[in-house]
Amino acid sequence: MLNADQLLARLYALRKDYADDPEDETYQALHHAFMFVSYQMSGFREYLEKERAKEKKEEK
């Protein structure tokens, strides 16, 4: 699983792919997701840690 910074970078790259049409719904969704996650990085990191822990439990 990617870490929080890597996932944020991927959202940024996807958002740039659609930046030529700021009215596009996909661009808007990616833009707002990127902005929200970037402002809530500590919470996002916490979420990812919990998800990793769940995955490790399921592997056992």
pLDDT in tens, 19-49: 999 999 999 999 999 999 999 999 999 999 9
Does the predicted model carry a pTM greater than 0.75?
yes
Tell me what the mean pLDDT of segment 11-16 comes to: 96
Is the Cα torsion angle 16, 3, 54, 34 positive or negative in sign? negative
pLDDT at 48: 97
pLDDT at 60: 73
Residue with tokens 């699983």: 1
- Is residue 13 packed enough to be buried (19+ CB in 10 Å), middle (13-18) or exposed (0-12)? exposed
